[in-house]
Amino acid sequence: MKNKNYGEVQKCEFLLKLGNNIVCQRYFTVKDFNKYASQSIDLHYLVTDIMNELKEDLKYKTLILLDSTFNDKNIDYLNLNKCMDYFTITIKCGTKEVYTRVTCADIYPPKVRFSVDVRPKMSRMLRELTQVLSQQKVTCNYQDYPLNV
């Protein structure tokens, strides 16, 4: 959709899920939207940073939980052979999914993984996503391979 003041305006969505359950869903508008940015390495790096930040928070909360209630029975949740639960971050532009990042959630105790709270960081994450998706110069090649499909 074109806007007189901003050029291309695109409605986008940030979606964080645990399994099939929505943890956080936010809609945001990107002014001066660059369609190539949605398939850029810049978006990949940003979503990777967001996922790594989520994992660091979960690790920290796990250490606090284990420190406060440690005994041999608390380690039973660690079944690393198969992962049944996943955290998924999905970025949508309009109705099209442009990026998805997945990480295993079973390595965190249920008390930690079911109490994820990204709300304090949400405004910063959406601002960074908006900046990346509206950048005019983006990197759309990786080692001589085009990322645009």
Return the pLDDT at 72: 47
Return the pLDDT at 1: 53
Its pTM surpasses 0.75: yes
Return the pLDDT at 23: 94
DSSP 13-77: EEEEEETTEEEEEEEEEEET--TTGGGSHHHHHHHHHHHHHHHHHHHHHHHHHHHHS-SGGGGGG
Using alpha carbons only, give the angle 138, 142, 145 rounded to the nearest 5 degrees: 115
Nearest Cα residue to 122 out of 15, 1, 7:
15
From CA 7, how far away is CA 60, in angstroms rounded? 43
Return the pLDDT at 139: 75
For the chain (149 residues), the mean pLDDT of every run of 10, in chain order, is 64 95 95 88 93 94 79 50 83 93 90 90 95 85 65
Return the pLDDT at 74: 46
